[in-house]
Amino acid sequence: MANAGRPTQFQIAAQVGKTWRALVELGEDNRLSIPIDAARRAPWLGRGFTVLAVLGDDGSATLLPYEIHGKRVEAALAELAANGSEQSETLIRAIRATRLRLAIYGDGRMVVPADIRMCLGLPPTRAFFLALTILDGEASLKAGDSRDLSEAHRILESIDLS
């Protein structure tokens, strides 16, 4: 597990390649620490920043820089609200159900709302490990399980690592 403020010590050559991945703990208190290696890869995951969480129908949550993507959502919400139609209100509800604003506090942690737990298929209490993956300016959270390891082994059958 990676801790905020500490490099991920179990990753082999963590700085190599476009993809970075580590397991992070979502605590019973709904706090999630962002590892310093993740913030190095995606500076907008650093302390004091705000991120936009987009809840996917595939059981994952994508994290994006709020200054870019969140501002676009704010503008869309304002435009829809100005329209005032029933369809606009339906769209506003859909946006609010799938987009959340999360703050990363000075200690490198964020509070994860129940919406994200529900999206990831997690119960409302207990601590869990989540896979945090960063690739091409996006970060994603997904509840990991043994199928992830099975998939990794299947992919690795094509190369010799011995």
- Tokens 């509070």, residue located: 111
The strands making up 31-33's β-sheet, listed across from edge to edge, are 99-103, 50-55, 60-65, 138-143, 128-135, 20-26, 31-33, 109-111
Q: What is residue 136's predicted lDDT score, i.e. its pLDDT?
A: 84
Domains of the chain: 20-156 (3.40.1550.20)
Do strands 50-55 and 60-65 pair parallel, antiparallel, or not at all (unpaired)? antiparallel
Contact 12, 20 (CB under 8 A): no
pLDDT digits 0-9 by tens, 133-156: 999 889 999 997 655 666 666 677
What is the rounded average pLDDT of the residues 44-70?
A: 95
pLDDT digits 0-9 by tens, 17-52: 678 888 899 999 999 999 988 998 899 999 999 999
pLDDT of 89 over the 90 cut: yes
pLDDT of 67 over the 70 cut: yes
Q: What is the SS3 assignment for 33?
A: strand
Q: What is residue 141's predicted lDDT score, i.e. its pLDDT?
A: 95
Stated pTM of the model: 0.83
Alpha carbon dihedral 52, 50, 6, 35, in 10-degree steps, equals 0
Residues 134, 64: Cα–Cα separation, whole Å: 10
| Structure token digits, residue 44 | 């907008």
pLDDT digits 0-9 by tens, 71-80: 999 999 999 9
pLDDT of 115 over the 90 cut: yes
Of the pLDDT bands very low, low, confident and very high (cuts 50, 70, 90), residue 13 is low
